[in-house]
């Protein structure tokens, strides 16, 4: 897989004009102009750069990480260093919007270097992109215009500091708008929770709990073709519970069924549900149910 360690080499590969700064570039087409067309197709590649872009894909599939998506609405997309990108000639872009590229070294030693690591949306797949309302899009575009004005200005000792300040503001707005998107997409989060439980049921039905132990959240997210971070954030915003809590609730609910079977034992139930140590299972069960497995069995037994 080809990797690009500099912004210039990445732009050369994309067949785009060389950036004015060796570690930073901004291109926009929000009026009558158009963005330059990128390379028509590409096998999987990685870079050392962050990308923030507002684009619209008219047709075709774009691969990002492990995800393929068909996307026809404009959205704000965030790509982090060393994410795998791939596209082919079937992808048709509308050359409007903007594209900001910055090498990770551009923000070394700044507050933004730490802040950017806390924004989970850089770990999301493209099909989990941020959909902007017209007013939100206008707000983001105004910030990009300020960045672009500074970028094309005669750069001096203050230019980098000012650009980074604008980038920080842009990301704060994006974080706010993602909060809104999570709140407004209840149907999506309900669907994700349903898919999450379906994957757990399949895992259980295949006997994998007893064979391989409790599945990781990453494994389940991969099966659902979403990122672990996006799955966790969406369910937390909507249900108030983490993915780990939902996993535990599923296991406890299944444990209740197993414990009430004739001649069942607590240890056997724990092993069937993928717990290596029955003691840990018993502690978790009591924490979630309020009584120990033994007390639960006794409370349901016929006297």
Q: What is the pLDDT of residues 63-112, one digit of tens each?
A: 544 444 434 445 788 888 988 787 766 655 555 688 999 999 999 999 99
What is residue 80's three-state secondary structure? coil
- In the DSSP assignment, the letter for residue 130 is B
- C-alpha 139/C-alpha 200 separation (Å) is 41
Selection from 24, 60, 17 nearest residue 39 by Cα? 17
Q: Where are the domains of the chain?
A: 2-184, 187-300
What pTM does this model have?
A: 0.59
Q: What is the pLDDT of residues 232-271, one digit of tens each?
A: 887 887 677 889 998 998 899 889 888 888 888 899 999 9
| CATH number of this structure's domain 2-184, picked from the four choices 1.10.3470, 3.40.50, 3.30.2450, 2.60.120 | 2.60.120
If you average pLDDT over every residue of the chain, what do you get? 81
Q: What is the pLDDT of residues 130-187, one digit of tens each?
A: 777 778 888 999 999 999 999 988 777 788 999 999 999 999 998 888 877 665 555 4
Look at the domain 187-300 and name its fold: Arc Repressor Mutant, subunit A (1.10.10)
**Cβ-based neighbours of 1, under 8 Å, separated by 6 or more:** 43, 44, 45, 46, 84
CA geometry: angle 135, 138, 144, nearest 5 deg: 150
Selection from 266, 276, 225, 221 nearest residue 247 by Cα? 221
């Amino acid at each position: 897989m080809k990797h690009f360690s500099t912004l210039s080499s990445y732009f050369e590969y994309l067949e785009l004009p060389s950036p004015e700064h060796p570690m930073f570039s901004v291109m926009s087409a929000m009026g009558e102009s158009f963005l330059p067309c990128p390379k028509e197709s590409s096998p999987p590649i990685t870079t050392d750069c962050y990308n923030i872009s507002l684009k619209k894909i008219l047709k075709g599939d774009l691969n990002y990480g492990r995800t393929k998506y068909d996307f026809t609405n404009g959205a704000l997309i965030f790509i982090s260093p060393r994410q795998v990108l791939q596209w082919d000639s079937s992808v048709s872009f509308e050359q409007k919007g903007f594209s900001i590229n910055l090498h990770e070294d551009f923000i070394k030693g700044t507050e933004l270097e730490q802040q950017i690591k806390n924004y989970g949306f850089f770990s999301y797949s493209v099909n989990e992109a941020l959909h902007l309302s017209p007013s939100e899009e206008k707000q983001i575009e105004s910030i990009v215009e300020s960045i672009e004005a500074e970028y094309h200005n005669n750069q001096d000792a203050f230019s980098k500091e000012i650009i980074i300040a604008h980038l920080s503001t842009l990301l704060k707005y994006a974080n706010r708008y993602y909060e809104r998107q999570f709140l407004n997409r209840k149907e999506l989060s309900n669907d994700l929770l349903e898919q999450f439980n379906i994957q757990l049921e399949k895992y259980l039905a295949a006997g994998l709990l007893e064979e391989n132990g409790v599945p990781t959240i990453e494994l389940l997210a991969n099966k659902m073709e979403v990122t672990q971070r996006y799955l966790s954030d969406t369910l937390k915003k909507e249900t108030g519970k983490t993915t780990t809590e939902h996993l535990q609730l599923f296991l406890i609910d299944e444990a209740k069924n197993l414990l009430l079977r004739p001649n069942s034992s607590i240890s056997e139930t724990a092993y069937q549900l993928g717990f290596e140590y029955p003691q840990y299972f018993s502690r978790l069960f009591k924490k979630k149910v309020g009584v120990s497995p033994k007390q639960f069995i006794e409370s349901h037994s016929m006297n």
